[in-house]
Chain A
Amino acid sequence: MALLEVKNLNLELNGKKILNNLNFEIWKGYVHAIMGTNGAGKSTLANTIMGLSGYENISGDILFKGKSLKTKTISERARDGITLGWQEPARYEGLKIEDFLNASAKRKNTEELKKALSTVGIKPEDHLNRAVDKTLSGGERKKIELASILLMEPEIAFLDEPDSGIDIESISRIFEVVKILKEKGTTVVFITHSLAVLSRADHAFLMCKGQIVDKGDRQKIKNYFKEECIECEIKDPEVKKEEKRTDER
């Protein structure tokens, strides 16, 4: 049985159809990538699976371990074992990294928290008492968010653009953490438009205009993406502009 199953999923936002009759299954134990150009609907899909507010008005269904998530709150989905890493993690005021991590942690002890921070490349002794606020860089917040996901020990983690805002030296570290997550039994789903991220996945889905148009091993999806999507994107000036901005980072 699939770990997560999306059935005839439709979502409109402000009168615009964003998810268009999606059907796919996510198998347990792999690192998946949901690949697509900007605006394909990837983040919307992840937010919808997590049950974020504004994304509730769906038709179709999402099943986790065979059970519908439709009426479940975010907290309930998280307790079932589903989590999401935001493309741009939230900033808090005054909330200590220690308290933030502790809130997520399955095993609540300082040693575990420290270990998780070290794993993502953040020095625990300098950071445990700092706040998850604007004095941290976007990349640091992203790593701290990843540490919180490690500590949560979820069954499935959607990571929205896991490489965005991360400096080149740290990117390999992020993928190390993903490997650890996988070893600990978490099914990881990258939400990404980056070929570099795709290359770290075992399996991929290609998303375009709110639909899954292809799936398979990463090489197949990579070729498709390179040949079809990038070409297609060039024709759309809005997408091109967006893509360029992301590449500049």
Chain B
Amino acid sequence: MKDNEIKKSLFKYVKDMHAMENDPRSAKLTIHGNKVISGNSVKGLTVESDEKEQGVDIKLELADNTKIEKPVLLCFGVIPENGIQKINLDVVIGKNSEISLKAHCVFPNAVDVQHIMNAEITLRDNAKYKYFERHIHSPEGGINVIPKAAINIGKNAVFSTEFELIEGRVGNMDIEYITYVDDYGTADMSARVAGSENDKLKISETSFLKGKYSKAALTTKIAVRDKAKADVYNKIVAEGDYSRGHVDCKEIIKDIAEANAVPIVGVKNSTAHVTHEASIGSVDKKQLETLMARGLSEENASDLIIRGMLSQT
């Protein structure tokens, strides 16, 4: 396939990218398989990519005291049925700088696709980093998604990340994010995933609250049906003075799906405080029966309820 055709196939799923394609004011990067297709940067932001045989290395560096106005758009994907994508991402956000990234991971035809991401992210003091990642998968489920990230959050820095996979089959997913939070820093991680058939999804998010007054919130919303299986391991360890954390996991199951939530909260400082909340169960009966009493089928009613739950960040 030619680069142009690939772009067209990818951008069909990424409206922003399509709209901003020729707008130099927004930084962008498109990677198909292990090949960089296109990209441009903006002032203050350095984007370097290095195509290697086993994957692409990307270095993203934002200078100190720089605020990027428009979200940086990233598009990663594999258009054919088969393929491997491996991305090593190295991100450094300078002091007092601010950036927001929107990533789309597009595998609409996957029958046997691997998407492996290893990220190392550093937020210097006072930096703000907002990351949104949406996955668009094929209905076949032949995909392995394995993103791992280690994130260092500097003093008074704010890291927030949101992961969404509600379109297409999950396939096999194994997310592992670890954050280390310094004084007054914040880690806010959320994931929303819907699995079906024999999807297997594992989410493991961990926050080490190292600094004083550091904070973390880990939120996970999962809906699984058919024979799908979801395992959520969320962990917060509070070490810093007056550090605060909250783990929240909600899972709705249908059919013979299985969901497990293993919240681990540890506190190693008597001034710290961590809470957790987990609920796993089928769709609420009153919600369901209300919609059925308005004429919806049970199936449509439960879909609507689940979609609502998953739409909320």
Q: How many residues of A contact B (CB 8 A)?
A: 30
Q: Which residue of A lies closest to B294 (CB)?
A: A104
Answer yes or no: B271 CB below 8 A from chain A CBs. no
The 0/1 profile, CB within 8 Å of A marked 1, for residues 273-305 of chain B is 000000000001111011111111110110011
**Given A74-B293, A99-B304, is A94 in contact with B311 using a C-beta cutoff of 8 Å?**
yes
Answer yes or no: A186 CB below 8 A from chain B CBs. no
Question: Smallest CB–CB gap between B299 and chain A, Å?
Answer: 9
**Given A73-B298, A90-B286, A90-B287, is A50 in contact with B308 using a C-beta cutoff of 8 Å?**
no
The 0/1 profile, CB within 8 Å of B marked 1, for residues 61-100 of chain A is 0000000000001110111001110100111111110011
Question: Smallest CB–CB gap between A24 and chain B, Å?
Answer: 21
Of B284, B286, B292, B298, the residue contacting A86 (CB under 8 A) is B286
Answer yes or no: A53 CB below 8 A from chain B CBs. yes
Answer yes or no: B312 CB below 8 A from chain A CBs. yes
Answer yes or no: A148 CB below 8 A from chain B CBs. yes
B312 near A94 with CB under 8 A, answer yes
**Which of A91, A103, A131 has its CB near the most chain B CB atoms (within 10 A)?**
A103
A73 near B292 with CB under 8 A, answer yes
Q: How many residues of B contact A (CB 8 A)?
A: 25
Question: Smallest CB–CB gap between A153 and chain B, Å?
Answer: 10
Answer yes or no: B309 CB below 8 A from chain A CBs. yes
* A86→B297 CA distance, assembly (Å): 19
Of B250, B295, B305, the residue contacting A79 (CB under 8 A) is B295
* A89→B287 CA distance, assembly (Å): 8
The 0/1 profile, CB within 8 Å of A marked 1, for residues 43-66 of chain B is 000000000000000000000000
The 0/1 profile, CB within 8 Å of B marked 1, for residues 126-167 of chain A is 000001000000000000010011001000000000000000
Q: Which residue of A lies closest to B287 (CB)?
A: A90
Answer yes or no: B218 CB below 8 A from chain A CBs. no
Question: Smallest CB–CB gap between A196 and chain B, Å?
Answer: 25
Answer yes or no: B113 CB below 8 A from chain A CBs. no
Of B285, B289, B292, B308, the residue contacting A95 (CB under 8 A) is B308
Question: Smallest CB–CB gap between B279 and chain A, Å?
Answer: 10
Q: Can you list 11 A-B pairs, Cβ within 8 angstroms, ordered by A?
A: A53-B289, A74-B293, A78-B295, A83-B294, A86-B286, A92-B309, A93-B250, A93-B308, A103-B300, A103-B304, A131-B308
What 6 A-B pairs have minimum CB-CB distances, sorted nearest first?
Answer: A95-B308, A94-B312, A104-B294, A94-B308, A74-B292, A78-B295
